[in-house]
Structure 1
Amino acid sequence: MSTLSRSETTVYKQQFEHIMATASALPRPTRASLLKAAFAVNTTLILTFVYLLATEATVGAPRYALYGVLWVAVGLWVLFDIDVAPASTATKRKAAAIAIGYFVLLAVAGGLVTGPVPGGSNGVRVSFLPPGWGPALIYGGDLFNLILMPARVVGYAALAFLVYDTVVEAAGAAVSGIVGLFSCVSCSWPLLASLVTSVFGSGTAIAATVTTLSYDLSTLVFLVTVVLLRWRPGFGR
């Protein structure tokens, strides 16, 4: 049985110390934040059970239902938990304009707003999709269609609010470059994930795979984006 040399031991020790230092630098949730997270989860679960009992909706594939509930719970936690830093009226207006523009981009890229469907039915209806994705308010019109699924609406609103908070903090911290939407790399991930199938086109094996895994991909990107925008490494936290 071989033993480690002194140099190898030193390397492993340095790597371990680096990992521990990185872990200790990560933000630790406060008691208040944990309570708000618990409240968001409880609220989502209660709404889910009420929705299933009061409608004809079914869980369907558990994986997709779990994703929908996860989107809503995390989105509500973000909206409940963020305390925006004080800022001037001009800064808040600029941040609000960027956040609204970001939400609109997400809504279009994520399919909340689409063009008219030839031969589609016009008017307003409610679709009882699996929890999180339903109840979906659907509007069909001659100019555009709306597919308002709770998971997407709440999730995209949470991301937009995080962008708003990021812009306000960036102005207060004099961080350059963050105001530009696409200079914030993590901000553009949900947009890229939503548009990835159009890059390859339909009918290809890659497009089929991306479509099959679109809920997995979008959920992963959503969670990673929330973590990065909530933690915001580089802001001196």
Structure 2
Amino acid sequence: MNRLAAQFSVGSPSAYLRTAVFALGAQSALALAYLVATDAGLASPRTLAIPFVWVTAAVIGVRHAERPSSGPRVRLIAALVGIGYGLVLGWFTGAIGVTSGAAAGVDVLTLPPWWGPMLRYQGSFVSLFLFPYQAVGYAALAYLVSLAVRDVAEYGTSAGAAGLIALGSCASCALPVVAAVGSALGGVGLGLGSVPVAGGDTYLLATVAYVLSVAVLTVRPTIK
């Protein structure tokens, strides 16, 4: 029988709020310990707030997203798609790159909390520029995308409408990529090696796109 009734898996606001409070508390404790242990400085309130928004959204999404039942083969395919998506997103945002020169080694920059400690690595073939909050955010988004792929595999055997409903939720994963491309075309740098400045629209656009993507992928519809 075709499963055409769609129901969004929205949890109670109090459950989301409890998770958010826990995530913010844990981030604040880690940030304080980081400031005490290093000579990292602070930045503007807006700049400091962006990583907290990303990580909090990531924790809420991973904690409350519906996990569809799938066989080992579907789980493997979904995991590969999620990893692939994470790599593509890292590529467009400049977190992952390809080098052709000699290896320059690895160093760690003590930027403000959750912007740092930032890993900067340049090898013979691959370069990495990873802000901690972006690493957490991309990993969470890749996981949520893999869950949406499992939905598509599950509901694709039903009527086409059911598969489209599930696929529609996964379409939101393009938002951070679009934001990254727009930022790159705008020519706004990431401020690597210095205190980041979030006064322009680059980081704000990426943050809005990220939160929307996590929200849609977290409350994606289930088909009954």
Range class of TM-score, shorter chain: 0.7 to 0.9
**Contact 1:128 1:134 (C-alpha < 8 Å) held by counterparts:** yes
Deviations 1:67-123 (A, max 9, x none): 0122122223323344522211111111111111111111111211123398x9811
Shift in CA distance, 192/125, structure 1 to aligned 2, threshold 3 Å: same
Q: Which residue of 2 aligns with 1:191?
A: 177
Q: Which residue of 1 aligns with 2:111?
A: 129
Q: How far is the alpha carbon of 1:134 from its aligned partner?
A: 0.8
**Contact 2:169 2:216 (C-alpha < 8 Å) held by counterparts:** no
Please, what TM-score do these two structures have when normalized by structure 2?
Answer: 0.78
Q: Which residue of 1 aligns with 2:97?
A: 114
Q: Which residue of 1 aligns with 2:36?
A: 53
Q: Which residue of 1 aligns with 2:216?
A: 228
Deviations 1:46-78 (A, max 9, x none): 111111111111121221111012212222332
Cα distance in structure 2, aligned partners of 1:90 and 1:115: 31
**Contact 1:102 1:160 (C-alpha < 8 Å) held by counterparts:** yes
In the TM superposition, what are the counterparts of 1:1-237 in structure 2 within 5 Å? Answer: 27-29=10-12, 32-116=15-99, 122-174=104-156, 175-177=162-164, 184-199=170-185, 212-233=200-221, 235-236=222-223
**Contact 1:128 1:136 (C-alpha < 8 Å) held by counterparts:** yes
Shift in CA distance, 169/30, structure 1 to aligned 2, threshold 3 Å: farther
Aligned residue pairs total: 203
Shift in CA distance, 149/117, structure 1 to aligned 2, threshold 3 Å: farther
Cα distance in structure 2, aligned partners of 1:78 and 1:121: 37
Q: How far is the alpha carbon of 1:176 from its aligned partner?
A: 2.5
RMSD: 3.1
**Contact 2:109 2:119 (C-alpha < 8 Å) held by counterparts:** yes
Gaps of 5+ in 2: 1-7, 157-161, 189-198
Q: How far is the alpha carbon of 1:178 from its aligned partner?
A: 7.3
**Contact 1:59 1:65 (C-alpha < 8 Å) held by counterparts:** yes
Q: How far is the alpha carbon of 1:28 from its aligned partner?
A: 4.2
**Contact 1:72 1:132 (C-alpha < 8 Å) held by counterparts:** no
Which secondary structure state, in structure 1, belongs to the residue aligned with residue 172 of structure 2? helix
Aligned-residue identity in percent: 31
Mean CA deviation greater in 183-192 or 126-135: 183-192
Paired AA for residue 102 in structure 1: Y
Q: How far is the alpha carbon of 1:137 from its aligned partner?
A: 1.2
Cα distance in structure 2, aligned partners of 1:167 and 1:70: 25
Q: How far is the alpha carbon of 1:236 from its aligned partner?
A: 4.7
Higher alpha-carbon Rg? 1
**Contact 2:103 2:122 (C-alpha < 8 Å) held by counterparts:** yes
Q: How far is the alpha carbon of 1:199 from its aligned partner?
A: 4.2
Q: State the structure with bigger RCO (CA 8 A, min sep 6), 1 or 2.
A: 2
**Contact 1:72 1:150 (C-alpha < 8 Å) held by counterparts:** no
